[in-house]
Amino acid sequence: MNTNNVSPLGNVSREDRELLIGQRGATIWFTGISASGKSTIAIALEKALHVRGVHSYRLDGDNLRLGINNNLGYSQEHRKENVRRAGEISKIVCDAGLVALSSFISPFRQDRESVRKSHEESGITFVEVFVDCSTEEAERRDPKGLYKRARGNEIKNFTGIDHPYEPPESPDIHLKSDVMSLEQEVEKLLEFITLNNILGEESKLQS
Amino acid sequence: MNTNNVSPLGNVSREDRELLIGQRGATIWFTGISASGKSTIAIALEKALHVRGVHSYRLDGDNLRLGINNNLGYSQEHRKENVRRAGEISKIVCDAGLVALSSFISPFRQDRESVRKSHEESGITFVEVFVDCSTEEAERRDPKGLYKRARGNEIKNFTGIDHPYEPPESPDIHLKSDVMSLEQEVEKLLEFITLNNILGEESKLQS
């Protein structure tokens, strides 16, 4: 390790942390309806990065709602706040030098754009991945039985049933999860990250 | 890198991330009144860890209040929520495999205990550092002019003036910042972390 990277007077900067860890921080943001496959894809990418020596950290709605967002419900205002906090935590993960793999339905274009803008203002790369799956297919999968409960009116404001989902107009990556295999999806993600040098030239992905 | 550490079927676990980064996650939590020196000490420790190859990330009130906590004020309820969120983010930083250096006035014993408990429930080490400074000395320093504004009634509910601070009864580390030098404080912290093997045997601090 080259300790000359740290100025003896200044604070440790994001660049210092990135040099130490050997990669640049970046957020890969997965948006899509419930059961579209966001978390499944994020988990597979997390593993693919890990075995290549890249440090990432996965954030998702289920997870954050158990901790920092346990005081939020599903009203329009709370969904907005859920996405805002998720974006801020993603930035913290990146600032620490890691890759944030963030899966959130994040149904509103404006909220996603706020998260992108807030990343860009901090000089952090934000990659929007649209996990595109028809409602029919998502409803057929329904691993948590949520669509069934929404159809039975047990859950209100369910995205895709009685609450809107605004698809990205120009996502960085478009994955059609009802026709692509998980392997194809991960390959497409790794290819994008590598070709665009998202994690920096020092990253193990580039070597 | 030994890819055998990752089971081909399971998700990437905290242990997997810790193996990859070569250290265990832990939170070092600095509590004390305004201008007691919390952030100054955290910054010095951050640098000391960094030059030794240890990955840490610093969180403080000023910082979080610009981002994730920008919708919180200084009422009792909001201070409680500020500390709760700070604790949850510290846990995320640790879960990612890093050392969280968290400086928050965190005036109430009960709130700090909740943060400790929540760490322990997740199997994460929590080290409470009491940055102990007399109000007289802190008020003499007053780098942000906050005590002056509190005395002039421009700021209400100011800890140490018209809002209570409950000192830790048995902190893990007690730093008397009005008599110790910064070098002595950092030395004491490094000694504690090393002797108690807080970052694990693989950590660069132990080798």
ipTM of the shown complex:
0.91
Its sign, for the CA torsion A177, A183, A187, A190, is: positive
User: What is the distance in angstroms between the Cα of A51 and the nearest Cα belonging to chain B?
Assistant: 6
Q: What is the pLDDT of residues B187-206, one digit of tens each?
A: 999 999 999 999 998 888 87
Q: Which of A15-24, A69-78, A118-127 has the lowest mean pLDDT?
A: A69-78
The secondary structure element, H or E, covering residue A64 is helix A61-66
Q: What is the rounded average pLDDT of the residues A112-132? A: 97
Q: How confident is the model at residue A9 (pLDDT cuts 50, 70, 90)?
A: low
Task: Give chain B's contact residues with A (Cβ, < 8 Å).
Answer: 1, 3, 6, 11-12, 16-17, 20-21, 43, 46-47, 50-51, 53, 55, 57-59, 67-68, 71, 81, 85, 88-89, 91-93, 95-98
Q: Return the pLDDT at B9.
A: 54
Q: Give the number of other Cβ atoms within 10 Å of residue B99's Cβ.
A: 29
User: Residue A84's closest chain B neighbor by CA?
Assistant: B68
Q: Which of A203-207, B113-117, B176-180 has the lowest mean pLDDT?
A: A203-207
Task: Considering only residues B205 and A38, tell me which one the structure prediction assigns the higher pLDDT.
Answer: A38
Q: How confident is the model at residue A177 (pLDDT cuts 50, 70, 90)?
A: very high
Which one of A103, A106, A177, A203 is the catalytic residue?
Answer: A103
**Helical residues (DSSP H) of chain B, grouped into ranges:** 14-21, 38-51, 61-66, 76-95, 109-121, 135-141, 146-151, 182-195
User: Residue B118's closest chain A neighbor by CA?
Assistant: A67
Q: What is the pLDDT of residues B20-71, one digit of tens each?
A: 999 999 999 999 999 999 999 999 999 999 999 999 999 998 889 888 999 9
Q: Could you give the CA distance from residue B45 to residue B109 in angstroms, rounded to a whole number?
A: 24
Q: What is the rounded average pLDDT of the residues A165-185? A: 96
Q: What is the pLDDT of residues A71-97, one digit of tens each?
A: 998 888 999 999 999 999 999 999 999
**Please, are residues A120 and A93 in contact by the beta-carbon 8 Å criterion?**
no
Q: Return the pLDDT at B161.
A: 87
pTM here is 0.92
**Helical residues (DSSP H) of B122-177, grouped into ranges:** 135-141, 146-151
Whether residue A92 and residue B43 make contact (CB cut-off 8 A), yes or no, is no
DSSP-based three-state secondary structure for B101: strand
User: What is the distance in angstroms between the Cα of B159 and the nearest Cα belonging to chain A?
Assistant: 25
User: Residue B83's closest chain A neighbor by CA?
Assistant: A68
DSSP-based three-state secondary structure for A141: helix
User: Residue B69's closest chain A neighbor by CA?
Assistant: A85
Q: Which strands sit side by side in the sheet containing A56-60, from one edge to the other?
A: A56-60, A99-103, A26-31, A125-132, A173-176
Residue B162 has pLDDT above 90, yes or no: no
Q: Could you give the CA distance from residue A71 to residue A82 in angstroms, rounded to a whole number?
A: 10
Exposure class string for A145-162: b at 16+ Cβ within 10 A, else e: ebbeebeeeebebbbbbe
Q: What is the pLDDT of residues B78-108, one digit of tens each?
A: 999 999 999 999 999 999 999 999 999 999 9
In B, which residues are within 8 Å of A21 by CB distance? 21, 55
Exposure class string for A100-123: b at 16+ Cβ within 10 A, else e: bbbbbbbbbeebbeebbebbeeee
Question: Looking only at Cα atoms, what is the longest distance across chain B?
Answer: 63
Known catalytic membership, residue B103: yes
Residue B6 has pLDDT above 80, yes or no: no
Whether residue A46 and residue B1 make contact (CB cut-off 8 A), yes or no, is no
Whether residue A11 and residue B93 make contact (CB cut-off 8 A), yes or no, is no
Q: Return the pLDDT at A168.
A: 97
Whether residue B20 and residue A46 make contact (CB cut-off 8 A), yes or no, is no
For residue A45, the 8-state DSSP code is H
> Which of A11, A43, A85 minimises the CB distance to B43?
A11
In B, which residues are within 8 Å of A1 by CB distance? 53
Residue B1 has pLDDT above 60, yes or no: no
Q: Return the pLDDT at A206.
A: 78
Q: What is the pLDDT of residues B124-145, one digit of tens each?
A: 999 999 999 999 999 999 999 9
Whether residue A12 and residue B55 make contact (CB cut-off 8 A), yes or no, is no
Radius of gyration of chain B (CA): 18
